[in-house]
Chain A
Amino acid sequence: MARAVDYVKMSIPYLILAVITSPIILMYVMLFIASFSKTVYGLIPDKVTLNNWNFLLTGYIQAPGTLGVEAGRYPNIYIVTFNTFLLALTVATLEVLISSLAAYAISRYSFRGRNAFLSLTLVLHSFPSITLLIAVFYILNTLGLFDTLIGVILVKVALELPLGIWIMKGFYDGIPWDMEMSALVDGCTRLEAWWRVILPNVKGGIASTMIFAFLSGWAEYIYILTFIVSHQNWTLSMLVAAMIGEWRFVDYGQLAAVSFYYMLPVVIFFLFFQKYLLRLTIASKGPI
């Protein structure tokens, strides 16, 4: 009897966790099922089909209510995907490059204003950059970068820089000074020592920064919405948002397929790189 009570007691935490976590699991399962079925009733698919994925063959998605007219098509999915990929990859590369340069200076040089710069990056890390949208819009406009992906890329890189500098600095600090000292003695310049000796030793930091910046660029919505007008510069977030805008009329199976397609890098990351998830969570300053 006492054992039975114990079992019940032991299972209580599992039960509570299962109940509060089930909405998340079920919602993602639903999206997955829906992307492969004609209609879905809750979690029950009605006719399993691959038709929702036709957009991958034809390359376009017809906007709802446009009766197959060519002008009513959303921009070509591959152009949109390419833009998204380009944005994410460029943001990630620049972010890694610039933050690992700056973090190296902070970690290894003593210069006037070093502490001020370090404090600044820390303060900026928690500062809600999203509140600066209007001013950033004005600056991009002045620089002639409005409605260009370059503009969005620069903004993204800048806003995530404090975090990147932080991550990289942590990794640099863990490397003994002797390593680059021997490189310098052997005749390397500081830049060469950084490139050849130090960088290969901070691969973990580079990977963290890169993954974080890539996923953040991949998912970017607000800056695209605000700073991009031309359809040929759309990214996948704009495409999905446009389909949400037509919620009543949209082809739901297709919407699920596009959403799932958009989520693929995230899913891959989730399944294979879980150890980075934690740092990502702590680091994210965006929503909530």
Chain B
Amino acid sequence: MLPKISRPKPLKGLRIPYLYVFILPALILIAVFYLMPVMLTVVISFTSMDYRLEWDWVGLGNYYRMLRDRWAHIILRNTLFYAIATLACFNVGMALVISLLTTHIHDKTGAAFRAAWLLPRITPSTVYIVIWNWALAPYPYGLFNWVLHSLGLDFTLQKFTIKPVHPLIPVSWVWVWVILVNGFIGASFGMVIFTAAIKAIPLDYINAAKVDGASTLQIIRYVILPMIRWPILFVTAYQTLSLLTSYEQILLFTDGGPGYATEVWALYSFHKAFAEYAGAFEFGYGAALAVILVIIGLIASITYYKVFRFRELMLESKIEVT
């Protein structure tokens, strides 16, 4: 019986030309659309390039401007709030709730619930936002207001309002919607990983705890959660980066409004570079804003690679959960 491991001594002579055929297309695309852009982003950030695409060097000018930019400070706060709140409530919080609940009920039903949560992720972002806009429309058209009214509740939900949710909670309604819109997509990532992890826990542990008289909550707290702490850490780290750099849904949903209320860092960079109403196409400043994210992205990606042994995690994904 031959071992299954591949890669014995390569066949000399045949090797080199075919190797190029196999690998060059991928190498070229990665070089042109990944490696060059990373460098180019940094280089452009030292210029005041605009729609004429001329290289006017300004040194660190864009970075000084960023430090003095009043909006940049507000937007930084927005971004951190958005990332932390969405992460805690949905990408980790809701994901945990769903995977714990769906693994404790009838298997097929649980899978159906999880499938429903995957819908937002595979819906085109534009359609997804149409649905949300609609759901938040005023009574009698909007779904949410219609449901509230049907339940006899005298309460109206609005989309574009910076009114706080509650006098004691300084979070505005528009932020609630932004977090929900992103969170309903975001929860499924953690859900899938946590579900696989929970299903991989040997039943003996849980049965042993049951024999010892542990309640369901105690089992979750003292058996399940400690055993899936590594996946939780992974999802937290991975989704932090995704949230810090995502803006497509916010662009479509509020476009950062009202005013700059829901503008986040990545969206600000996009607006500076490509917004129609500004007209200026400040590629230089936009690139400088993007450099911050590129640096965060690079550090984070390399960290994941080193810390989380991505390889094994990706292999795990072959388990069926749906």
Contact = CB atoms under 8 A, between A and B. Distances in A.
Interface of A: 13-14, 16-17, 20-21, 23-28, 30-31, 34, 39-43, 97-99, 101-102, 104-111, 117, 119-139, 141, 154-155, 157-159, 161-162, 165-166, 170, 172-173, 175-178, 184, 189-191, 194, 215, 218-219, 221-222, 226, 236-237, 240-241, 243-244, 247, 252, 255-256, 259, 262-263, 266, 269-270, 274-275, 277-288
A124 B127 contact: no
Interface of A (DSSP majority class): helix
Interface string B20-33: 01110111011011
B41 interface: yes
Contacts of A138: 40, 44, 53, 283
Interface in B111-128: 113, 115-127
A130 B246 contact: yes
Interface in B227-285: 238-239, 241-249, 251-252, 266, 269-270, 273-274, 283
A98 B119 contact: no
B10 interface: yes
B105 A277 contact: no
A215 B125 CA distance: 12
Given A27-B132, A30-B134, A285-B242, A269 B320 contact: no
A124 B34 contact: yes
Contacts of A165: 26
B301 A123 contact: yes
Interface stretch (B63-71, B166-174, B203-211, B290-298): B290-298
Given A26-B143, A161-B30, A282 B249 contact: no
Interface residues of B, number: 122
30 contacts: A13-B104, A17-B98, A20-B98, A25-B116, A27-B131, A27-B143, A30-B135, A98-B29, A101-B23, A106-B23, A121-B30, A126-B238, A126-B305, A127-B34, A131-B266, A131-B293, A133-B269, A134-B269, A134-B287, A135-B40, A177-B2, A177-B4, A191-B21, A219-B122, A237-B124, A259-B131, A278-B317, A288-B182, A288-B239, A288-B249
Contacts of B44: 134-135, 138
Contact of B29 (A157, A170, A177): A157
Residue from the set B97, B130, B133, B319 with the largest chain A CB neighbour count within 10 Å: B130
Given A123-B302, A124-B301, A278-B320, A259 B121 contact: no
B14 to A, nearest CB: 6
B189 interface: yes
B91 interface: yes
